[in-house]
Structure 1
């Protein structure tokens, strides 16, 4: 305890460093929106990509989000370009259907 009183600046610096690191780690862990990059293939359109990747939201909303994320002024995209899209969220259901057990053959 005597050392901490004599070196209060170092103690304060270490305490603030630990607090900063904890805040940084927690904020990265709790990030809610991930982004992915996809390469545009010949014949792709935002509408087709929305049909493929927008699972839980309206297609128009997904397209608007992608346009904002990529600073697109129009919905036209070119083959070979990279496009940032929101995380693909899949619903996982453990119910694979109901089966009734029976002793009869």
Structure 2
């Protein structure tokens, strides 16, 4: 106890570090990505789904990932099947377009 009185700044620093580490651990465990389940419609193909849902990675890589997630041996899918696909990460960008004085909207 005497040590803490003499070195309160070190104890405070260590305590804040512990709180910070616990906060990081909790936030990482709560941010787990969930996968989507989609129902295959007539005419759907993995290539079309890769174009629609796999925007941030190459089509072949996305298709291979989906095939592995669903234990598919081939890229053939049937209407009515349900596939698990990776979650799509959405990027939100604010549009600060250039406006000229007097432009009306």
Report how far residue 51 of structure 1 moved: 0.7
Report how far residue 61 of structure 1 moved: 0.9
Specify every segment of 5 or more residues in structure 1 that has no aligned partner in the other structure, as ranges: 1-21
Runs ≥4 residues deviating over 4 A: none
Name the residue aligned to 1:47. 47
8 Å Cα contact 1:39-1:81 kept in structure 2: yes
Residues 10-25 of structure 1: pairs in structure 2 closer than 5 A: none
The CA RMSD over aligned residues, in Å, is 2.1
TM-score, normalisation: structure 2: 0.66
Name the residue aligned to 2:86. 86
TM-score, normalisation: structure 1: 0.66
Specify every segment of 5 or more residues in structure 2 that has no aligned partner in the other structure, as ranges: 1-21
* Distance (whole Å) between structure 2 residues aligned to residue 100 and residue 46 of structure 1: 45
